[in-house]
Every structure is written in structure tokens, then in C-alpha cells.
Structure 1
Amino acid sequence: MSILRSSFVAASFALSAIAAQAATVIPVTQDGSWYAFTVDALSAQSGGVEWIDSDHDLSGGAGDFQALSFTFTVADKAILKLVDAYTAGDTYNLFIASASGSTAYTSSSVAARDLSDAVPPSFNDSYDGAFADSANFSQLTLTLDAGTYTVTGSLLQSVTVDGFALNATSGGLSVTAVPEPTSLALVLAAAGVVGVVSRRRARG
């Protein structure tokens, strides 16, 4: 079995395992807002490195550290962004399930870091700041077509302490709808009308 096929099979098993245990489902608004996820092998109910929820609880309390998934429906097209936003050096697996099947992705490669050597950059969940620093913070950008999607993830590369994986970090995910061509044309036309009216008033 080739390395590529082995990686695909491993990713498929990981996706199935995460989907099976996902307990907290967060609906995503497609306005570019960031949604947080956490990785903490010591706190996760499974003891693993899948994305977990530390902010929400089905009973309304604090996060219950269950596996976390995000869901949304795209009308035409949308841009999905993922970013590591806690300690530079972590990377992620991203799993997207839709009616057409399941696909695994990995966030961009960044240098591995050991906290014993030096304290790496940290944005403490400032997602826009981390996304702007692609040299240090792993990220991923995808264009999605129309459909209903469920997104889960897991930690791929962790920062280390004296050579041992920390397996604790956090990041953010956002989805931004891309306006349909007709909607965009109407917006531009409206902007043009407003501009003409403003110029006429200025002359008057």
C-alpha cells in the first residue's frame, strides 16, 4: 500500500471516529465570524486530539469537552478559513463531510517548536492577527460550492515541551458567503445610483 493511500485510509478512519463521537454541533453563520475550537488531550472526554468544545454545553453550562463539529449550508459559494491562533507551531487535520462524500485536508506547514527552547509567538485566539502571520501560524483557505457541510478536525503537529507533545491548543474557523453574480450586480448597480445622486446633490 502506498504512503498516499495509507494516509488517505488513516484520515478516513479518523474522520469516521470523530463524526461518530461528535456531541456538540455549532451552526455557523456565513458572515466571516470566527468560531473557536480547542484541543486538549487531558480534558477531552475521549483522551484524544480531536477538536473539542470548551465554550458550550448542552445543559447551558461551561464547555463539556466533547468532540466538536461545525455545520452550515452554502447557497452558491463560500470561503472557509482555518487558523491556529494560540501557540505557533501547531498544525491541523480538517475533515469536511457533505452529500458528495468526505474529504480530508491539512493546514499549512509551519516550523515545529519546543517550548523548552524559547517561547514561540502567541496570539491568544486573536484569529485575524494569527491569520495575517502565515509564517508562524498554520492556516487553510478553501472555496466551497453549494451544499450542506459538516466540519470536524484534529491536531496533526503539536508544539512540544522537552520533546514531548503538548497536545493542547486552540484555533478558529470562519465561513464567508460569496455573493451570487446577480446579487453582486444589484449591489454594484445600487452603489452606482447612490454615487450619481450624491454627485448631483453636490453640484446643486
Structure 2
Amino acid sequence: MTFEERLATLDALWQAWAEHGAALTDDDWRRPTRLGTWDVRALYAHHGAWPSMLAHVVTQVRDAAPTHTAASLLRALNAPGGIAHSRRDAVASGAHEDAAAYTTAQALGQFTGVGPRAIEEARTRGPVTVDYLGIGLLRLDEAVSVGIMEATVHLLDLRRALDIEPDVPHAGLAHTAALLADVAPPVAFIEAATGRAPADFFPVLS
């Protein structure tokens, strides 16, 4: 995907989040999800942090070579002892706290206001190198790829919680599938995908 295609894909995904949220009933917001103790409101609070995070990341331009791609960053975060494991409880607690603190309008505003503005700012910056939350240096297009993956995976979580078909923007699904394949060990992935070996390396993300 080009940089513009990635931005357009992320924008479409966040539009889907906004549309779903606007249609939710009070009971829907309290529905459980397949993510442990998170209900739908906690899921919105968790992924709703991503538009604000992108708005911050686009300001962190660095005159340096990238240290990671999206795939290598995700691989490092999900390695044994990586942040995905060490901060799992903190992330879960944060989602509950944010869900209790934010109104529905604030939760949806992340996708109708903060997100579109961050995407437009990214568009003006171009695929520059940015500091990704102090974890590594990424090209901005690679950072957007992480956002596409997060938006897609959690949109599937949302639609499953609402008992509706996993009808997610195709570009998001295709880009996420390609990114996850890149995160996986290549030999193990190829042999598992072709039925030559068990897929015992899954999941590649926590």
C-alpha cells in the first residue's frame, strides 16, 4: 500500500468505528467481548486511545533512519518478556478506567474528530521518520500500518461481541493479514499455511 492508501484505509476503519458507536444501545455498550473482562465500552476506550496516539506520534518527527518496520516492532513487542506481556494488566486496567471516565460522546469523538485530524496531519507530513512512543523509530507509513492492524482486529472483536457478521473494510483485512504474515516466522508460516507443519507458533500477537 502507498502512504495515501494506508491513510485512506485507516480513515475508513475509524469511520466504521464511529458508525457502530453511534448505533449502539445502552445494552450494547455493556455487552461482553471475547477479551477477558472487557465489555464493548472498554473495547471502545482501549482502541479509542489510538487516534490520540497517532495525533501525538505525527508530531515526533526525527532526522534519523528508522530502527523498525511495523512487523519488526510488533515482533519485538510480542516476544517473551516484551511490552505486550509485561504491560498486559496495565492495559486492561487502563481500558476499564477510561471506559468509566469518558462519556459516549467523548468515546465517539476519538473517531469523528481526533482521528480524522490526525490522519490529515499525517498526510501533510508524508512518510517521515517518527519516534513511536519511545519504543523505536518508524516511518510514519509503518506506524499507520500498526494502526490499521489494531483497528481491524478490534473491529472484528466488536462485531463478534454484537453478534453480527465480521464485515470489515476489505483493505483493512488484506493489510492486516499481510502484516501478521510478516510478523510470523516465515518458514513456520509457509509450512503451516501449506499443511506441511502444525501452526504451533500462533498466536503471533498477544
Pick the TM interval, shorter chain.
under 0.3
Which structure's relative contact order is higher, taking Cα pairs within 8 Å and 6+ residues apart? 2
TM-score (norm. length: structure 1): 0.27
More strand, by proportion: 1
TM-score (norm. length: structure 2): 0.27
More helix, by proportion: 2
Tell me which structure has the larger Cα radius of gyration.
1
